[in-house]
Amino acid sequence: MSFEHRPWVEKYRPRVLDDVVNQKGIIKRLKQFVNDKSMPHLIFAGPAGTGKTTSALAMVRESYGRKMAVNRTYLELNASDARGIDVIRTYIKDFAKARPPIDVSYKILILDEADNMTAPAQQALRRTMEKYTRNCRMILICNYSNKIIPPIQSRCVVFRFASLNNEDLKNRVKFVAKQEDITLTPGGLNAIADVSRGDCRRAINYLQSCGTISKKIDQDIVFRVAGEVPPDRIRKILVTAIEGQLQLSIQLLNDLIKEYGLSGQNIIKNLHREIYDLKTSEEIKIELTKLLAEFEYRLSQGGTEEIQLQALLAKIVLLSD
């Protein structure tokens, strides 16, 4: 696959630490490790799409520069694929115990999705980390640090990555759109930020998907590609039901399902996001939350979507009495 046709997430991945957005405190400490030419074992933990793998790869590039060579100076593995104890005892151990090249202080092993490793594999990794520290430093990347066993956590410095704020996310999306000659309307940009929820990878993927439809991206295109509904449409259904208009709210819901092809559970998730911005009493919001929880459970147990969603609206109408 040529560079131009690779997914944009890879194509526009920052190559140096200074280009990683929204993680200034972490990046400052990582740059100090690079400058000192020394680092401990690390754990990068946090939500998806916040720059964990990018930061690890940028560290490798800044540490080794032209000396960077896979299997000689660094190795990147995905622990969700290679997560058994045999991989730790053979492949990873062989890489860790081999001496680094003469002009390199230590090698780096990046273990992505480390929270998917089995417990025996993590136990086997403990001794390897300890025994071959002189040759190899490890960066374990995970979404949930609590799934990494305490003995490994105690051997590492833990960095917790936060979700991107909307401003940084929008700036990155605008940069990619400019490189690809795509026009983003203000509504389209806000919609991408809303549906991405702090995940830069998801935002760029949505941008690429929208770019295959049109070179001018507005709010409607984004919501269709993301399989989500404009918030005002969802809010109108809720407000109509709270006002006691059952037939109209059912009609609005049916129109929405036909237009966007959403499942019942997607509808409930969208309704839940709009509850707390409604101009209504706290008591009504509490009751709405309880109803959504009840009907989400009914759908998960195999309830008929059309009947359950209409029953949900009927219950909401009764709240207005």
Return the CATH architecture of domain 231-319.
Up-down Bundle (1.20)
Q: What is the CATH number of domain 166-226?
A: 1.10.8.60
CATH topology agreement for domains 166-226 and 231-319: no
Domain 3-160 has CATH 3.30.1360.200: no
The residue with greater pLDDT, 14 or 108, is: 108
Instruction: Check pLDDT > 60 for residue 54.
Output: yes
Whole-number Cα distances in Å, 58 to 63, 164, 201, 222, 264: 8, 18, 16, 30, 42
147 vs 153: CA distance, rounded Å = 10
**pLDDT above 90: percentage of residues in the chain:** 36
Least confident of 224-233, 235-244, 277-286: 224-233
Domain ranges of the chain: 3-160, 166-226, 231-319
Provide mean pLDDT across the span 207-214. 90
Per-residue pLDDT at 84 exceeds 80: no
Confidence check: pLDDT of 1 > 50: no
**pLDDT value for 5:** 53
> Mean pLDDT score of the chain, rounded to an integer?
87
Instruction: Locate all alpha helices (DSSP H) within the chain, ordered by sequence.
Output: 8-11, 24-36, 52-64, 85-87, 93-97, 119-131, 150-153, 166-179, 186-196, 200-211, 219-226, 231-242, 246-260, 264-275, 282-300, 305-319
Overall average pLDDT of the 186-196 stretch: 90
SS3 48: coil
pTM of the model: 0.78
Q: Which residues neighbour 107 within 8 Å (Cβ) at sequence distance 6 or greater?
A: 72, 73, 74, 75, 95, 96, 98, 100, 135, 136, 137
